[in-house]
């Protein structure tokens, strides 16, 4: 019992120290020893505690957008336009369809992208940018990639272009207009 209490006391201390980290990850090794970190360096780590940090400001988000836009060779203004239209920069946004986070990633796409913490801004931004890059590589057209981001790649393939859904047509137009405004 004493060992159990000290484990939770240490964990509480970790929680207080890492509260700015966003997420604490853990894994249990073959000897039964738990390892905790805010910067996982292995696929063995799983989310343990996600801190809802309401202090995410545009400066922090811009840094993440620049880092991951560079990594996946996308224009940061395009990423900002998608985030603006998808969630209006609301970290904990959830759509009626179940899309989550800044870039509004659907649960099935989260699984495909190995996104385990959709409300962690960094993880969400990286996954959304990675997904948008995949769609651009697949469709070789920004409007088609945006349509696929909104309505799913299967619908873009099915209709041989932007699907005839009003929501998707408005979405593509809104992102493109926002993108042009942000590029100025």
Q: Where are the domains of the chain?
A: 2-50, 58-183
Angle value at C-alpha 76, between 173 and 127, nearest 5 degrees: 90
99-158, pLDDT tens digit by residue?
Answer: 999 999 999 999 999 999 999 999 999 999 999 999 999 999 999 999 999 999 999 999
Q: Which of 86, 116, 126, 167 is catalytic?
A: 86
CATH architecture type of domain 58-183? Orthogonal Bundle (1.10)
Sign (positive/negative) of CA torsion 112, 117, 119, 122?
negative
State the Cα–Cα distance between residues 151 and 174, nearest whole angstrom: 15
Map residue 29 onto helix, strand or coil.
coil
pLDDT of residue 4: 45
**Percent of the chain surpassing pLDDT 70:** 84
For 8-62, how does the pLDDT look when each residue is reduced to its tens digit (9 = 90+)? Answer: 444 444 444 443 446 787 889 999 999 888 877 777 888 777 666 555 678 889 9
Does residue 86 carry a catalytic annotation?
yes
* Predicted local distance difference test score (pLDDT) of residue 57: 76
Nearest to 50 by CA among 71, 12, 21, 79: 21
């Amino acid at each position: 019992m004493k060992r159990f209490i000290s484990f939770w006391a240490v964990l509480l201390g970790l929680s207080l120290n890492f509260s700015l980290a966003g997420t604490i990850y853990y894994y249990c090794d073959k000897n039964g020893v738990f390892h905790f970190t805010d910067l996982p360096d292995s696929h063995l780590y799983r989310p343990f505690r996600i801190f809802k940090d309401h202090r995410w400001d545009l400066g922090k988000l811009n840094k993440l957008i620049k880092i991951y836009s560079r990594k996946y060779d996308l224009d940061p203004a395009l990423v900002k336009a998608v985030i603006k239209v998808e969630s209006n920069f609301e970290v904990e946004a959830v759509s009626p369809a179940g899309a989550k986070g800044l870039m509004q990633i659907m649960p099935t796409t989260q699984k495909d992208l190995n996104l385990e913490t959709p409300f962690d801004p960094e993880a969400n931004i990286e996954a959304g940018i990675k997904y948008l890059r995949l769609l651009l590589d697949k469709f070789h057209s920004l409007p088609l990639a945006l349509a696929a981001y909104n309505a799913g790649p299967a619908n873009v393939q099915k209709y041989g272009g932007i699907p005839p859904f009003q929501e998707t047509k408005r979405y593509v137009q809104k992102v493109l207009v926002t993108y042009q405004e942000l590029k100025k």
